[in-house]
């Protein structure tokens, strides 16, 4: 067998051996760490005390505020980023006639804290208010 053929066969075998090692080093995307979580707690306008209870959920890639849904703000996709033992999340909830709610929050352990901003532009006066939420993890069955 000519030496060129032996080198070619050796090169092909070496390449085929390396493929599993290359794929073993690749990291698969991290599974959604917060999908399925629910937090129940208090909410209110910034600078003021507790106003009422709310429950926020992360399910099937959608963020929901049960209280805000009563006002027409539907679910929306969310983004999150892990930072040590905290997870930062954000979502913008739309309403067909009441503007948007821009949520930004942090989950640490079993506690979620967030601020959200209600923006609504109207011809007779714009709304730009800020609210807060603080809740504990709600155990699901």
Q: Is residue 56 part of a domain?
A: yes
Q: How many helices (H) and strands (E) does the chain have?
A: 2, 8
Chain segment 91-122, per-residue pLDDT in tens: 999 999 999 999 999 999 999 999 999 999 99
Q: Is residue 97 part of a domain?
A: yes
User: Under a CB-based contact definition with an 8 Å cutoff, are residues 72 and 48 in contact?
Assistant: no
Q: Is residue 116 part of a domain?
A: yes
- As given in the structure block, the two tokens for residue 41 are 């707690």
Pairing of strands 86-95, 38-45: unpaired
Give pLDDT, residue 23. 41
Q: Is residue 30 part of a domain?
A: no
d(CA 129, CA 118): 5
Q: What angle do CA 18, 19, 25 make, to 5 degrees?
A: 90
pTM of the entire predicted model? 0.75
87: containing domain: 38-137
How many domains is the chain partitioned into structurally? 1
Give pLDDT, residue 19. 43
């Amino acid at each position: 067998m000519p030496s060129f053929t032996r080198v070619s066969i050796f090169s092909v075998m070496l390449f085929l051996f390396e493929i599993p090692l290359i794929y073993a080093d690749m990291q698969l995307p991290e599974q959604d760490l917060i999908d399925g979580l629910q937090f129940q707690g208090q909410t209110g306008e910034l600078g003021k005390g507790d106003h009422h209870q709310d429950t926020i959920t992360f399910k099937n890639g959608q963020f929901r505020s049960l209280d805000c849904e009563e006002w027409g703000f539907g679910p929306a996709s969310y983004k999150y980023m892990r930072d040590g033992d905290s997870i930062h999340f954000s979502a913008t909830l739309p309403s067909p006639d009441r503007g948007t709610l821009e949520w930004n929050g942090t989950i640490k352990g079993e506690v979620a804290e967030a601020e959200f901003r209600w923006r609504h532009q109207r011809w007779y006066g714009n709304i730009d208010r800020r609210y807060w939420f603080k809740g504990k993890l709600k155990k699901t069955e």
